[in-house]
Amino acid sequence: MANKVTHPIMFQGDLKKQGPYFEGWYFKSVSADEKTVLSLIPGISLTEEDPHCFIQYSYVHSGEALEKELRTGYIRYPLSAFQYNQTPFVLKVGNSVFSETLVSVHLEEDDFRIEGILKLGPFQAVKRTPMSPSIMGFFAYIPNMECYHGVISMNHAIDGTVAIGTKTRDFTGGKGYLEKDWGTSFPEEYVWIQCNHFRDEGTSLFFSVAKIPFRGSSFEGFICNFIVEGEEYRFATYNRSKFTLGLLTDDRIEIEVSHASASLTICAEVLHGGALLAPTEQGMNKLIKEGLSGIVTVDFSDKKTGKNYHDVGNVAGIEVVR
């Protein structure tokens, strides 16, 4: 059987154990014209008072004359509605199915429905080594961390249509992203940025910085993965990269990350935020705001080759929790 540490898409938890515990997969899909963004988060919350599974969704559509449709929701299911297979990975929550090749979603909430099938193209995985088995580096091996993170696909093709509300949205030729989190709670403070819609189609970005409790104390840990022209650059606490915060407000972030061979400046602007629920040790009860269609400007410098790169990305996912 594949190793859970090196295959974060697999279910990392144990349904027989008492919580607090959460696990959630984040499937983001963006239409080819970048006007429709649908994020689906199937997951599980194990607490003594309220064990259940769920599918959380966030949806934004940019219509004519700058009008926006925006909707988020959280649909609860009993624990018995959570079923999974590890290899090949398949997750079923209620009537919806999530795998490495497709998402089949069937959600109803009051008079609103999301229904359809999306085929997922080959995943763009992050680089792994024995010392760095996932995006978390050697921290992936350390037990009892508050929150573990996995980036499963920085970028992949999607095809299909989804009925959302009274409209059918076409995602054919669009792009997807997939990550996940698991543990006992989300960090108390964090910033998260994700974008794979730059002018250069092959460019993609993941960034996260958080206050991380560790052995009775805490430290500020960050990870940034940047793919440009087929090359992957990793900036992280665990590989001795440096992190500088230039500006942090609720709707704008400016940061710089660097190591001996490269540096990257990121300016992110939050637009059109929707409310989502995040896990604490008491359950899925922390309200956070996720920007679904933010703008990210990147300036990258490869110190070895002297090459510079500038680009602007749209429909970025951005969260600021502090």
Map tokens 């679904």 to a residue. 292
| Number of neighbours of residue 102 by Cβ within 10 angstroms | 16
**Does the pLDDT of residue 290 top 70, yes or no?**
yes
Residue 14 belongs to a domain? no
**CA dist., res. 232 & res. 116, Å (int):** 33
Domain range for 304:
21-321
Percent of the chain with pLDDT over 70: 99
Residue 74 belongs to a domain? yes
Residue 291: the pLDDT is 86
Both tokens of 240, joined, read: 């001795």
Residue 4 belongs to a domain? no
Both tokens of 284, joined, read: 């899925």
**CA dist., res. 302 & res. 309, Å (int):** 9
Taking only the tens place, the pLDDT of each residue in 94-151 is 999 999 999 999 999 988 999 999 999 999 999 999 999 999 999 999 999 999 999 9
**Which of the four pLDDT bands, split at 50, 70 and 90, describes residue 272?**
confident
Residue 111 belongs to a domain? yes
Q: State mean pLDDT over 223-247.
A: 97
**CA dist., res. 99 & res. 10, Å (int):** 10
Number of domains in the chain: 1
Residue 152 belongs to a domain? yes
Taking only the tens place, the pLDDT of each residue in 82-96 is 999 999 999 999 999
Q: Which residues contact 119 (CB under 8 A, 6 or more apart)?
A: 101, 102, 158, 159, 160
Position 110, amino acid: D
Residue 1 belongs to a domain? no
| Number of neighbours of residue 106 by Cβ within 10 angstroms | 14
Residue 88 belongs to a domain? yes
Residue 2: the pLDDT is 65
Q: What is the pTM of this model?
A: 0.97
Cα 114 from chain centre: 20
CA atoms within 13 A on the CB side of 188: 6
**CA dist., res. 109 & res. 249, Å (int):** 33
Q: Which residues contact 231 (CB under 8 A, 6 or more apart)?
A: none
For the chain, the first-to-last Cα distance in angstroms comes to 39
Cα–Cα nearest to 233, from 303, 177, 296? 303
Taking only the tens place, the pLDDT of each residue in 155-199 is 999 999 999 999 999 999 999 999 999 999 999 999 999 999 999
Residue 110 belongs to a domain? yes
